[in-house]
């Protein structure tokens, strides 16, 4: 490949250089020729100005030696080969080689003026020979041609070397890679030696080829995946058609033959061999149609067979070859044409017999059910009226129970207050009476608002100055917002953990959690000796049950007292 390109390129370069050299050489030689001819013309002009008068004078005086000397002097001018004078009386004086050829001849009239009169003495003839000019031009042409040839050949060899280094070797590598290129060897990248550090056009071509190879490789992978998916889809479709009991058939009009699967044959009440041997199968299928819409359906299928409509899909009633009434969803689709006439029709048949029969039975059952429902509705209406009367009686009983419960709650509070008032004159019970008075003030004011219980519990724990930070542990959620009087919960905590109990408390742990419907506050006290105020606990239990919609429980583990306070998350003011 490299040698062919080299020879062709060398021939083109040499031919073009030869033409350019010929043109430039011809121009140079023509210019030199014009200069030489011009110099010869200048010699004639110089002869006219320098020798014409002296020659005329010598010829007038018949000074033959002087005249010959002057003619020999004219021979010294460039290109003058022969010179002679032909006088008016026929005498000829000459100098030079008369046998040497002359390329051009100049004649000059010789005259002499004497006493105001001009006399014609004869004619001076000068023969110019361009042989020296031609010889000089030939020598120069040979030198120019040789010099241009050597220069052109040297430049061509250098250009071939550069082309071989920049192009030929890399093109040979690309040709070798292209010969071995195939879809089975797409992993092999095209690599060529770099001509220099900067990328050139061939490097761009290599990058484009490698990019094309990668794209082709990706396309091949996608095509393989698509082929595999197509094969998988075909297998799944075949399995799905077989499992779905889909009747599948292709009707060839020219052969008047069904090419169907076993499901299609069984749906017509035939076996596959019987269907293959069936004559005029489409007529058999059309004659099997029955029902109120059979005539219209046959007309549409005849239009399909004539190619007037491309597709027909409907629900058909068929009386199969076993004289069984069946229901099918059938689709007829033209898949091939010739001269605008159908050649093949695809038929897909789905058996809907069981569904249709079941639907009919369901309709009958629905009618029976509607009748029963109507009858039962009347019965239920009578029962509803009776239940409404019973509900009114139950509602009245519930109202009486709620009133009794309300009275009972007030009776419990009254009982607690009565017990405290009975002990009013006991100085030791004065503090307990103050607690009841504090609760009554809170209840009467009832400053219910939106509060963050977690924040208030944290503040309450910080106010316990009798315990150090190491003795107090709090585990609370980030926030717990509800509608309640903040003073109620602070009062409850003061009831459950009185100041007297703090004197014998080693550690205090308060945690709070929720379960979606209720919240729970757990207080765990580690005491140096058992301490418990039953009166405070009774009031706290009353508040938890009647106001906070919850409850209160306690449990002893040695000197450790655990109290759990539950409360409703949707609080209603008391």
Write b or e for each residue in 154-171: b if 16 or more Cβ atoms lie within 10 A of its Cβ, otherwise e: eebeeebeebbeebbebb
The pLDDT, as a whole number, for residue 560 is 87
Task: Say how far apart CA 163 and CA 155 lie, in whole Å.
Answer: 12
Beta strands, E only, 79-159: 80-87, 92-96, 104-114, 117-128
What is the percent of the chain where pLDDT is above 90? Answer: 2
Phi-psi region of 476 (alpha: psi -120 to 50; beta: other; left: phi over 0): beta
Beta strands, E only, 206-351: 247-252, 257-260, 289-290, 311-319, 325-338, 341-351
Contacts of 186-190 spanning 24+ positions with Cβ under 8 A: 186/213, 186/216, 186/217, 186/220, 187/217, 189/213
Pairing state of beta strands 117-128 and 289-290? Answer: unpaired
Task: Say how far apart CA 405 and CA 397 lie, in whole Å.
Answer: 12
| Range from 42-46, 181-185, 392-396, 555-559 that averages highest in pLDDT | 555-559
State if pTM tops 0.85.
no
pLDDT by residue (tens digit) across 271-300?
888 888 888 888 888 888 888 888 888 898
Structure tokens at 376: 């039962």
**55 vs 166: which has the higher pLDDT:** 55
pLDDT by residue (tens digit) across 427-460?
556 666 677 777 777 777 667 788 888 888 888 8
The pLDDT, as a whole number, for residue 572 is 38
Cβ(545)–Cβ(562) below 8 Å: no
Sign of CA dihedral 326, 327, 329, 330: positive
The pLDDT, as a whole number, for residue 426 is 55
The pLDDT, as a whole number, for residue 522 is 92
The pLDDT, as a whole number, for residue 407 is 43
pLDDT by residue (tens digit) across 555-572?
988 888 899 999 887 543
Instruction: Look at residue 543 and give its three-state secondary structure.
Output: helix
Token pair 């120069």 in the structure block, residue: 140
Task: Say how far apart CA 527 and CA 250 lie, in whole Å.
Answer: 94
Environment class of 323 (CB within 10 Å of its CB; exposed 0-12, middle 13-18, buried 19+): exposed
Please report how the helices 430-445 and 353-422 are oriented relative to each other, as an axis angle in degrees rounded to 10.
130
């Amino acid at each position: 490949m490299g040698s062919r390109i080299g020879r062709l390129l060398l021939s083109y370069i040499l031919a073009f250089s030869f033409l350019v050299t010929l043109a430039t050489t011809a121009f140079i030689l023509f210019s030199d020729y014009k200069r030489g001819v011009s110099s010869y013309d200048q010699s004639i002009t110089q002869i006219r100005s320098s020798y014409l008068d002296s020659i005329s004078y010598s010829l007038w005086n018949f000074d033959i030696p002087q005249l010959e000397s002057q003619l020999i002097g004219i021979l010294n001018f460039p290109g003058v080969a022969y010179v002679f004078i032909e006088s008016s009386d026929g005498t000829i004086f000459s100098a030079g080689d008369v046998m040497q050829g002359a390329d051009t001849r100049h004649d000059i009239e010789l005259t002499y003026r004497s006493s105001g009169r001009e006399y014609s003495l004869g004619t001076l003839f000068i023969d110019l020979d361009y042989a020296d000019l031609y010889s000089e031009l030939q020598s120069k042409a040979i030198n120019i041609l040789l010099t241009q040839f050597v220069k052109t050949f040297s430049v061509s060899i250098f250009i071939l070397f550069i082309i071989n280094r920049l192009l030929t070797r890399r093109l040979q590598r690309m040709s070798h890679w292209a010969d071995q290129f195939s879809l089975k060897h797409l992993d092999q990248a095209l690599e060529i030696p770099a001509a220099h550090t900067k990328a050139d056009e061939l490097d761009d071509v290599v990058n484009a080829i490698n990019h094309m190879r990668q794209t082709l490789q990706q396309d091949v992978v996608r095509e393989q995946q698509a082929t595999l998916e197509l094969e998988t889809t075909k297998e799944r479709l075949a399995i799905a058609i077989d499992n779905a009991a889909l009747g599948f058939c292709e009707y060839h009009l020219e052969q008047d033959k069904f090419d169907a699967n076993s499901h299609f044959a069984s749906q017509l009440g035939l076996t596959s061999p019987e269907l293959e041997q069936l004559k005029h199968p489409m007529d058999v299928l059309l004659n099997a149609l029955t029902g109120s819409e059979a005539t219209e359906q046959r007309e549409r299928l005849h239009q399909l067979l004539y190619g007037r409509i491309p597709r027909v899909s409907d629900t058909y009633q068929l009386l199969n070859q076993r004289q069984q009434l069946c229901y099918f969803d059938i689709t007829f689709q033209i898949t091939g044409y010739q001269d605008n006439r159908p050649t093949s029709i695809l038929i897909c048949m789905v058996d809907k017999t069981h569904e249709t029969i079941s639907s009919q039975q369901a309709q009958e059952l629905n009618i029976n059910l509607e009748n029963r429902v109507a009858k039962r509705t009347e019965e239920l209406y009578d029962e509803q009226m009776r239940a409404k009367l019973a509900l009114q009686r139950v509602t009245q009983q519930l109202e009486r129970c709620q009133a009794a419960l309300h009275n009972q709650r007030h009776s419990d509070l009254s009982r607690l207050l009565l017990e405290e008032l009975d002990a009013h004159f006991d100085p030791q019970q004065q503090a307990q009476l103050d607690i009841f008075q504090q609760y009554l003030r809170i209840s009467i004011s009832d400053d219910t608002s939106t509060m963050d219980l977690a924040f208030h519990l944290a503040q309450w724990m910080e106010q316990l100055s009798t315990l150090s930070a190491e003795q107090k542990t709090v585990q609370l959620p980030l926030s717990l917002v509800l509608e309640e009087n903040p003073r109620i919960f602070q009062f409850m905590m003061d009831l459950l953990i009185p100041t007297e109990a703090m004197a014998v408390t080693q550690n205090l742990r308060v945690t709070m959690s929720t379960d979606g419907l209720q919240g729970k506050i757990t207080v765990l006290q580690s005491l140096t000796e058992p301490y418990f105020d039953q009166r405070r606990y009774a009031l706290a239990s009353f508040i938890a049950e009647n106001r906070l919609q919850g409850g209160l429980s306690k449990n002893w583990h040695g000197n450790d007292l655990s109290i759990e306070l539950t409360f409703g998350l949707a609080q209603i003011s008391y």
